[in-house]
Amino acid sequence: MSEPVIAGAALAFSVLSAGISEMRSGDVHFTGPSSPIGVTATNIPTNVRLKQKTLRGSVFSYTKSNPISGIEQVNVQLDCILQYDGPQVQATFQMPHSRSRLTYDTYIRIENPLSLERLPMPDDWVRIGITEYPVVRIPITIFVDHPWPRSNLNDSFMLVISGFKGMGADGLSSIEDRNRYWN
C-alpha cells in the first residue's frame, strides 16, 4: 500500500541575491556576492524536517610557474560551499591560498543567480508534500592577465546549483556554457 501524499500549499521559491562587492588580495581581484546566494523556499510543510547537507567543491583552478626558475606565478582556486536541503540551496565562495604575482593579474567575477528553474522531486519527496526543487545558474568570469607576449586566459561559465543535488541537477551538469580561450 502506498503512503498518502500530504496536501498543502505549493512551495514558493525566492532567488536569494546579495550585494556585489570588490576585494583585492595582492594581484587577485575578486568581485562577487557579499553574502550567501541561491534559493529559499516558503510553504514547506510544517511536519517535514529537512536535513541540511554541506558540499564543498572547486569550480576553478589554475596554476602557472616560471618554466626556468620554477617560481610560482599564479595559483588560483575558486571553491563553492553549498548548503542545501531539497527545496533550498545557498552558495558562498572562497579562494583558499590564491595568489597571483610577478606581473600576473587575476580577475574573478561572480554574479547573482539567474533563471530560476523547477524540477520534479523523486516520489519519496512528493509523498511528504515537496513536489519540486529549485535550480539556478550563477555566471562566473575569470581572467588571468599574463605579461606580454604570452596569451591571457579567459574562462566564463554558468555554475548550476540545486536544492536537491547541490552542484548540478537531474540531467544537468554542474558547469554549463563554458567558454575558455586564450588571447
Residue 87 falls within a domain, yes or no? Answer: yes
Q: What is the pLDDT of residue 111?
A: 98
CA pair distance 15, 90, nearest whole angstrom: 10
Number of domains in the chain: 1
Residue 27 falls within a domain, yes or no? Answer: yes
Phi, psi of 175 (to 5 degrees): -120, 125
User: Quick check: bond before 4 cis, omega within 30?
Assistant: no
Residue 5 falls within a domain, yes or no? Answer: no
The one-letter amino acid at 41: A
Q: What is the pLDDT of residue 34?
A: 94
CA pair distance 5, 2, nearest whole angstrom: 9
Q: What is the pLDDT of residue 1?
A: 44
Residue 6 falls within a domain, yes or no? Answer: no
Residue 53 falls within a domain, yes or no? Answer: yes
Q: Range of 109's domain?
A: 12-178
Q: Do 92 and 161 meet the contact criterion of CB atoms below 8 Å apart?
A: no
Residue 99 falls within a domain, yes or no? Answer: yes
Quick one: cell of 101? Answer: 604575482
Residue 82 falls within a domain, yes or no? Answer: yes
Residue 183 falls within a domain, yes or no? Answer: no
Coil, strand or helix at 126: helix
Cα within 13 Å of Cα(25), Cβ side: 13
Contacts 24+ apart (CB under 8 A), 150-159: 151/182, 151/183, 152/182, 152/183, 153/62, 153/180, 153/182, 154/179, 154/180, 154/181, 154/182, 154/183, 155/60, 155/179, 155/180, 156/180, 158/114, 159/59, 159/80, 159/91
Q: What is the pLDDT of residue 9?
A: 57
- Spell out the per-residue pLDDT of the chain, length 183, in tens: 444 444 545 889 999 999 999 998 878 999 999 999 999 999 998 888 899 999 999 999 999 998 899 999 999 999 999 999 999 999 999 998 788 887 889 999 999 999 899 999 999 999 999 999 999 999 999 999 988 888 999 999 999 999 999 999 999 999 999 999 999
